[in-house]
Structure 1
C-alpha cells in the first residue's frame, strides 16, 4: 500500500510537474494532451499503457480523436502519492 503524499511534497507540485493541475474535488492531478490525429494520440496511449503496466500504476484516462486526458491518483492511498508523481514525470518524459 502506498502512503499519501506529504504536505511538503504537495507544496512543490507546481514546480515539479508544471503541466499537471489539481482535479477539483479530488486528491488527483490531471493533464490533457493534444496530437495531430487519432493515430498519434493512440500511439501515445500505448506507450503510457506500457509504462503503467511496468510500474503497476494505472491512470484514469479518456481519448477523443486527437485528445488524451490523464488523471492520476493512488486509490489504495486515498489520493496522491509518490507513485503518481513518478508516473506523471515518466509520461512527461515520453514527450521530451
Structure 2
C-alpha cells in the first residue's frame, strides 16, 4: 500500500473530526462515561481491526482512549489507516 503525502493526509482528515496528523501517523482520542464503556468500545474496535488485519497503537486510562494509526510497512499513513479510522468512528458513534 502506498504512503500518502502530507497534503493527501490533511485533505482526508477534513472528513474526520478530532483527528490530527503528526509523526507519520494519524491520532485521536475519545472520552467515555466510565472505564467499562471505554473498554467495550476498545473490544469492538479490536474485532474490526483484526478483520481488517490492521491494528492500532492505542492506550487506555480509565475513561479515555487514545488511538494512533500508521502503516508501518509503508512508513506512514495509507488508505488502510483511513479505512480503519472510519470504522472506529462508526463504532464510537454507535456506542454513544
Aligned length: 93
TM-score (norm. length: structure 1): 0.89
**Tell me, which stretches of 5 or more residues in structure 1 are unaligned?**
none
**What's the TM-score, normalizing by structure 2?**
0.89
RMSD (Å), alpha carbons? 1.3
Match in the other structure for 1:62: 59
SS at 1:83's partner residue? Answer: helix
CA distance in 1 between partners of 2:6 and 2:39 (Å): 35
Q: Hey, what does 1:14 align to over in structure 2?
A: 13
Structure 1 runs (4+) greater than 6 angstroms displaced: none
- Per-residue CA distance 1:25-57 (angstroms, 9 max, x = gap): x10011111001110000000000001000000
